[in-house]
Amino acid sequence: METSDLANHLIDALDDVLSSPRDVIALAITTICAGGHLLLEDVPGVGKTTMAKGLAKAISGKVSRIQFTPDMLPSDLTGVSVYDQRSQEFAFRQGPLFANIVIADEVNRANPKTQSAMLEAMGEGHVSVDGNTYSLPDPFFVVATQNPIELEGTYPLPEAQLDRFTACTSLGYPPADVETRAIAQAAGTDPLGGFEALCTLQDVLHLKASAGRVFISEAVAAYIVAILHATRTDESVTFGASPRAGFALAAMAKAWAMLQGRDFVIADDVIALAKPVLAHRLVLRESRFNTSMGSRYDVLDRVLEGIAVPRASQESASRSSSPGWLNRAR
């Protein structure tokens, strides 16, 4: 199966069993193909954890779920060294981060010290315990859920950790017909009960490698840099998008192009991914802890409107085939 076909098959299969919006599912698969991590931000009860579990079941491999709580310690994530009396040596016992897919549920209910323990794992692919470094499995994908900080018992994620999440989105409340079908189902029915794995770990690694080979021209790269610089100089922004954000946007644009069956990136790919990749990284002037995604989207709308789209990319877009599910995702 071609890489684009496999990726779209994952989207179609998950769309059939989940009540989540198709564009959010597509963004999640794109993030996996880009080798990144996804943050789902929404109020409780709209299906964040169910979607995360669906992604985990679709990709065969070791899965762990971490329910974050205020009393959690960093060692609860990374693991600990335990003294073995028989061997008279310390042995390392792996924590739940040692999995291919980590479901970090309600990540912003943990204290800041524990939240920061995830930085090395997400950014470097390894953890350090008692002076020793331990590599995490490959692929390693974190899909985290968080509640709005207005809810009781939540801590705002630090900017450094938000920057480690490749993309951030929300599910929103489901349409009335979808919610009606869910309520009408038999009590206790698991929507993922009969859902089987759709690909292997090697397939995931192949998807990541294929996305990495997608060509991005210097003109499109310059377009990404122009967007980054515009967020840094916008009058309503205190801290704009970092260089890491630029690499993330480029990687996501490559994966997005691959899902459409193209081996090159066009400006439309960058535009389509700008908000989910950049919005959560912006710190607005009116409040250091401003979490209004709508305000951040307004900033990005203004930024994108003020930057000329690369001409060559426009010509390539006019010659390329229909983007298929991309139209539906929009």
- As averages over each run of 10 residues, the pLDDT of the chain (330 residues) reads 86 88 92 94 79 85 88 92 84 92 87 81 88 90 78 70 91 81 71 84 93 96 97 91 96 96 95 95 70 78 93 48 36
Burial (CB count <10 Å: 0-12, 13-18, 19+), residue 187: exposed
Cα–Cα distance for residue pair 24/56, rounded to 1 Å: 15
Predicted local distance difference test score (pLDDT) of residue 323? 36
Number of separate helices (H) and strands (E) present in the chain: 14, 11
Query: What is the number of other CB atoms lying within 10 angstroms of the CB of residue 1?
Result: 10
How far, CA to CA in Å, does 118 sit from each of 59, 66, 122? 22, 12, 6
Q: Which CATH number fits domain 1-212: 3.30.70.3270, 3.10.20.740, 3.30.750.200, 3.40.50.300?
A: 3.40.50.300
My answer on whether omega of the bond before 156 falls inside 30° of 0, hence cis, is no
Task: Label residue 61 left, alpha or beta by phi (over 0 means left) and psi (-120 to 50 means alpha).
Answer: left
Read off φ and ψ for residue 326, nearest 5 degrees.
Answer: -60, -40
pLDDT on residue 328? 34
Q: What's residue 159's pLDDT?
A: 82
Instruction: Give dist(CA 104, CA 64) in Å, integer.
Output: 9
Distance of alpha carbon 239 from the chain centroid? 21
Could you tell me the residue ranges of all domains in the chain?
1-212, 214-330
pLDDT at 154: 65
pLDDT reported for residue 275 = 95
Q: What is the pLDDT of residue 324?
A: 36
d(CA 196, CA 193): 9
Strand-pair category, 237-239 with 63-67: unpaired
Q: Which CATH class is domain 214-330?
A: mainly alpha
Q: Tokens standing for 244?
A: 């890491």
Cα distances from 250 to residues 91, 261, 320, in angstroms, run 41, 17, 19
Whole-number pLDDT of residue 292: 58
Which of 31, 249, 299, 41 is closest to 147 using CA atoms? 41
